[in-house]
Chain A
Amino acid sequence: MATSDKPKLYYFDGRGRAEPIRLIFACTGVEFEDIRFKGFEEWTNKYKPESPLGTAPFYEEGDVKIGGSLGILRYLGDKHGRGGATPLENAFLSSLSDAIYDYGKVIYPFVHGPEEKKEDAKKEILASLPAKLKFLNGNVKGEDTFLAGKQLTYPDLHLYVFHLECQEAGLGEVFKDCPQLLKVVARVGSCEKIKAYYESKK
């Protein structure tokens, strides 16, 4: 397959909004071009005007470009067998992913905000996020060790990345009342292809 035939993902050189998408490719073995901007200037001057919505990540397949990480995630999750079996199941999976995206936004002021505001930001996060995560935890039923049951689906990858971000930011305690979620994270982390992906990034 010529390079130009592979789908392309465009994003900054970091995990951010693109990582769950990259993990779908990693865990399914589907090839793609993982295009990473050389700095903010390359985004603003070169790629932003070409992007469909002025946002990153964006995805290109053939001559169509799609913006918005969540839509890309759902599309690729379905396309590569990591989605739901029915429309209602898909709606349920996307609700989990959308919720995790919102939790990601809650930690941004702390992870990326100005130093002097971090202490307050952290307090707010620790006060509000555990309760929200508990709702998510409640959706994992019984002995199922993935969010939607026995099979890995894309919200599991999304949760894995979010947990990683929390851990690295010293916010791991937001998961304190979420034993089911931690089981899901452990299960994703022990997938051979996910392990290999993170090994290759070291």
Chain B
Amino acid sequence: MATSDKPKLYYFDGRGRAEPIRLIFACTGVEFEDIRFKGFEEWTNKYKSESPLGTAPFYEEGDVKIGGSLGIVRYVSDKHGLGGANPFESAFLESLSDAMFDLGTKLYPFMFGPEGEREEAKKSFLETIPVKLNYLERLVKGEDTFLDGKQSYPDLHISAFHMDCTKFQVSDVFEDCPKLQKVIGRIDSNVNVMAFREKHP
């Protein structure tokens, strides 16, 4: 397959909003071009004006571009067998992923916010996130997968979120969520995911 035939994902050189998408490709072994901007300037000066919504990540398949990480996650998951079996199951999976996206947003004030405000932001995160994670914990239907007996993309999304929490020393928020920890453990020990993470820590 010529390089230009592979789908392309465009994002910064970091996990951020793109990571769940990259993990889908890693986990399913589907090839894609993992395009990473060389710094913020390359985004602003080169790629932003080509993006469909002025946002990153964006995805390109053939001559169609799609913006918005969540829509891309859903589309790529469905295409490669990590989506729902029917519309209602899909809606359930989407609700999980959308919730995880919101949790990811809560990391940002202390990942990227002004230095002086990070301590406060981190405290607030540690206080408020466990309750929200508990709702997700309740919704785990399988032994170590959100769906009973079947892998799906929210499994990857929670693993990506947990990785971010670990890197920023707030993974304690998961301590009362044994089921979520099992879901995460299963993905973290997937050989394809591990190989991918070796290349992009």
Contacts and interface: CB of A to CB of B under 8 A. Distances in A.
Interface in A59-91: 61, 64, 66-68, 70-72, 74-75, 78-79, 87-88, 90-91
B162 interface: no
A66 B92 contact: yes
B99 A53 contact: yes
B91 A91 contact: no
Contacts of B95: 52-53, 66-68, 71
Main SS of the interface on chain B?
A: helix
Contact of A64 (B52, B92, B132): B92
B139 A87 contact: no
Main SS of the interface on chain A?
A: helix
Contact of B99 (A64, A68, A94): A68
Contacts, number: 87
A53 to B, nearest CB: 5
B66 interface: yes
A139 B52 CA distance: 7
A72 B98 CA distance: 11
B71 A95 contact: yes
B88 A64 contact: yes
A53 B67 CA distance: 26
Interface residues of A, number: 30
A131 B67 CA distance: 16
B140 interface: no
Contact of A87 (B78, B91, B94): B78
B177 to A, nearest CB: 14
Interface string B64-91: 1011101110110011000000011011
A64 B92 CA distance: 9
B53 A70 contact: no
B119 to A, nearest CB: 23
A99 B94 CA distance: 16
Nearest to A98: B68
B78 A79 contact: no
A135 interface: yes
A68 B94 CA distance: 8
A87 B75 contact: yes
A71 B78 contact: no
Contacts of A95: 52-53, 66-68, 71-72
27 contacts: A53-B132, A53-B139, A55-B99, A66-B92, A66-B95, A67-B95, A68-B98, A71-B95, A72-B91, A74-B91, A78-B87, A88-B64, A88-B66, A88-B75, A91-B71, A91-B72, A91-B75, A94-B74, A95-B67, A95-B72, A98-B70, A99-B53, A132-B54, A135-B51, A135-B52, A135-B53, A135-B54
